[in-house]
Amino acid sequence: MEKIIVFANGKAVQIPAGMNISGLVSHYKLTPSMVMVEVNGTVILRKDWETTRLQHGDRVELVRVVAGG
């Protein structure tokens, strides 16, 4: 299977070509409702995670949402 490199939170990560955002969130064992994802400076809505395929060289920020007050 072909692999690509993306930069997740500043660190180079090798992932399968064609992986979507949901797959990356699962890879890191994050709870989808508790994370915000930004790709190349653009926030990606959760409803678009399945259809947003990551490309070689993408810069992804995975931000955990913390509730509190």
Confidence of residue 69 (pLDDT cuts 50, 70, 90): low
Domain boundaries, the chain: 3-64
Say how far apart CA 45 and CA 17 lie, in whole Å. 21
Q: Is the pTM of this model over 0.85?
A: yes
Write down the mean pLDDT value for the chain.
95
% of the chain beyond a pLDDT of 70? 97
Continuous segment of H or E residues that includes residue 21: helix 21-27
* Domain covering 3-64, topology: Ubiquitin-like (UB roll) (3.10.20)
Higher pLDDT, 38 or 65: 38
pLDDT band at 18 (very low <50, low <70, confident <90, very high): very high
Partnered with residue 44 across adjacent β-strands are: 37
